[in-house]
Amino acid sequence: MGKSTYPIVAKEGWPFLGLSLLISLVLTFTHNPLSWPTWIITLFILQFFRDPARSKPSGKDLVLSAADGKVIVIEKTIDPYRNKEAIKVSVFMNVFNVHSNKSPVDGKILEKFYYPGKFLNASLSKASLENERCAITIETKSGKVVTCVQIAGLIARRILCYKEKGQSIMSGERYGFIRFGSRVDLYLPLTASIKVSLGQTVKNTETVIAKI
């Protein structure tokens, strides 16, 4: 079992945290009554952009959770990025979850898709096809393909994906971030054995979503 280690605060949050901390300190030292709300905001930013180290389970053909949150969908459907039947597992992230996204499998990125779109509540089913989103399809060494989709939400207005077509990626590798409430969809082969249930709370890297 390995452990993925990153800065305790994701790099995407440093500008927000730095600015909020500066404002809070200035207001505190000038005895401004607005200082306490700014400290609350600073603490919120700190918890939102946290990126704790995670232990990666060992095993063959495991699909790990790409996000922290709650499983809101497990269904047989069509993978719209490959036009093939697949099992879809969706994880909804609220504003209190870790929003760093980790790769669910080892492999090579076959394609990368980005679609501008709406900013509907990410817990809605139609958010998968109507919201702003970024998808990568990953082929494992055994030839299985997993599609991982970052989806913007009602508040989320920024999807960050740092990997490109043709690049290799490791399971548990940090590859993206979504600012504020959002969701991640996984499209898995029909032969996948699902290891989670609806309503279950999962953590990126640590939770096994399926075995393929």
- Domains of the chain, by residue range, sit at 2-48, 57-211
In whole angstroms, how far apart are CA 124 and each of 33, 143, 200? 40, 32, 17
Positions marked active-site = 182
**pTM score of the predicted model:** 0.82
The pLDDT, as a whole number, for residue 7 is 61
pLDDT score at 181: 61
The 10s digit of each residue's pLDDT in 125-139 is 777 877 889 999 999
35-39, 96-100, 119-123, 169-173: which is most confident? 169-173
Number of Cβ within 10 Å of residue 65's Cβ equals 27
Residue 41 has pLDDT above 90, yes or no: no
210 DSSP β-pair partners: 63, 194
Task: Report residue 6's pLDDT band, with 50, 70 and 90 as the boundaries.
Answer: low
Q: Is the CATH number 2.70.70.10 carried by domain 57-211?
A: yes
